[in-house]
Structure 1
Amino acid sequence: MPTKRQLPTARLRRLAREMRRLRSEAGLTREEIAASTAINQATLYRLEYAKGRPQKRTLLTLLKEYGVEESQREAILALSSQADEQGWLRPYHADLPDELVGYISFESEARSVRNYESLFIPGLLQTEDYARAVIRGVLPTVTAMEVEQRVQARIERQSVFEKDQPLELWAIVDEAALRRVVGNPKIMAEQLDHLVKVAAEPHVTLQVIPFGGGAHPGMLGGFVVMDFPDPDDPQLAYTETASGELFLEADEDIRRCGQSFDHLRALALSPGHSASLITSMARELV
């Protein structure tokens, strides 16, 4: 039986950040903690960087070492007990890449997502046929079963719009992503019509950067910035590169992504003009 993976959640990140803060305020290094508690440095590193949820006895030992008062200790223990709750998890997710499952986890907990894409329709706005065609095109060596698993995961992600507090999505798409015919003209026309329909929802804002907009920061590649409901949960950025997917947590990286998104938002067509442009593109395909 495969080993159960510790999958990331916003609460696990919050716990990790809190444990780093407590150790820092206590003026202790990981080496000193390892020497005084017999908790090895690898375990401490995993705990402080959300690589795993600590056992209760380990957490209690550390909180005592850091001089944490009882009321705060109980709050941290409660946070730890909830750190790996994942109501979004499906059995077949075990077969998906860790980076993809991690992304799904964070997205399911986010309050808002800012997403820029230069070559693809954003995943939360894709139709099933478009998703299937784009996954087959981008990953030509995966099996038919793997394609269907990824398609199912992508469509299920869109349930974030059906929650009592729907995810707020602000998506900016380069015109190139809309002009590229993925699958065939019929699939692409249906995808464009779907974009216009979804963009009319109050929790979705969609803008297009036209070819006439010239060079812009988004030409470096797509990225996502997530905000979470609890103010104690730090923002998270995500980007995909030729060498793999990256989660960005450093303040400077997140600030840079936020500034780029603001620049793109100012450069893009208004939501109304964007919808008109997408509608005209769909008509050209039928």
Structure 2
Amino acid sequence: MATKKQTPTVRLRRLAAELRRLRAAAELSREEVTERTGINTATLYRIETAKTRPQARTLKALLDLYDADDEQRQHLVTLSKEATKQGWLRPYHSDLPEEYTAYISFEAEASSVRNYESLFIPGLLQTEAYARAVIAGVLPNATRQDIEDRVQARIERQQLLTQDDPLKLWAIVDEAALRRAVGGPSVMRAQLAHLVDIATLPHLTLQVITFESGAHTGMPGSFVLMDFPDPLDTDLIYIDSMAGDLFLEADADVRRFSSIFDNLRATAASPDDSTKLMARLANDRE
């Protein structure tokens, strides 16, 4: 039976970033680190890209080589010990795809999320009936239990919007997602009504890109931008596509997708006009 890969966490990404920074400050290449410590270059690459957590002796060797001070050592050793802790996972989530559990963990530790969706209602805003219908439609070969596990995970994720320190969400949705009759007229009527109600939350901004807007920068596909409260944690981009799930964190990618999102905000109808459109669409399904 294959061993499940290390699911990335915010802490693991932070540890990787700090070790990259220390190596750069020491002006050492990965090859030079290998020569001086005996740590395999491939292993070092996996550590620095948050694909694996370093063993205690490996971390010590790196910190010795980089001449880390006591405060840095204590911080990074603690970070390494906590690197595998998921920010928000339930026992049954072990049966969910690795990429999805990684996304759940990142989302739970984010301070704000910018989400553009071209075909679906954003997961954090879906009703249970809509979520069940869309998951069953997208995954026709999934078992009933698989579907229920995903629905439960999706509904539990929504607690991020109602907790004491709620997640800030800016969601932009193409009108096509509002008009597609996922689950039938009654399911969509309830879903649209839910959007109208939840749009009143002070930490939620919801906009719609209407058909009248014509071609726009979001047409190539949906994406999520996550920002984290600690400045050491770089912004993260998540893309879900037919080709698979993809996480991006390079500065150039963050700038590009941030620019795309800003363009979409300018293209979309205002939050007030968007709410009126959703209310009208809900009434049309009466």
Pairing 1:56-67 to 2, within 5 Å after superposition: 56-67=56-67
List gaps (5 residues or longer) in structure 1: none
Aligned to 2:278: 278
Q: Deviations over 1:190-226 (max 9, x none)?
A: 0001111111111111001110011100101111100
Q: Secondary structure at the match of 1:218?
A: coil
Provide TM-score, normalisation by structure 1. 0.96
Deviation of 1:32 after TM superposition, in Å, equals 2.1
Q: Deviations over 1:27-69 (max 9, x none)?
A: 2222222222222222211210111221222111100011112
Aligned to 2:264: 264
Aligned to 2:131: 131
Aligned to 2:196: 196
Name the count of aligned residue pairs.
286
Aligned to 2:215: 215
Letter in 2 for 1:214: G
> Which has the larger displacement, 207-216 or 41-50?
41-50
Contact 2:9 2:87 in 1 (8 A): no
Aligned to 1:30: 30
Deviation of 1:241 after TM superposition, in Å, equals 2.2
- Alignment RMSD: 1.3
Give the Cα–Cα distance (whole angstroms) in 2 for the partners of residues 2 and 201 of structure 1: 44
Q: Secondary structure at the match of 1:220?
A: coil
Aligned to 1:164: 164
Aligned to 1:76: 76
Deviation of 1:171 after TM superposition, in Å, equals 0.2
Q: Secondary structure at the match of 1:191?
A: helix
Deviation of 1:4 after TM superposition, in Å, equals 5.5
Q: Percent identity?
A: 61
List gaps (5 residues or longer) in structure 2: none
Q: Secondary structure at the match of 2:218?
A: helix
Pairing 1:97-112 to 2, within 5 Å after superposition: 97-112=97-112
Misfit runs of 4+, over 4 Å: none
Q: Secondary structure at the match of 1:216?
A: coil
Aligned to 2:179: 179
Give the Cα–Cα distance (whole angstroms) in 1 for the partners of residues 281 and 49 of structure 2: 46
Give the Cα–Cα distance (whole angstroms) in 2 for the partners of residues 100 and 68 of structure 1: 35
Letter in 2 for 1:88: W
Aligned to 1:10: 10
Provide TM-score, normalisation by structure 2. 0.96
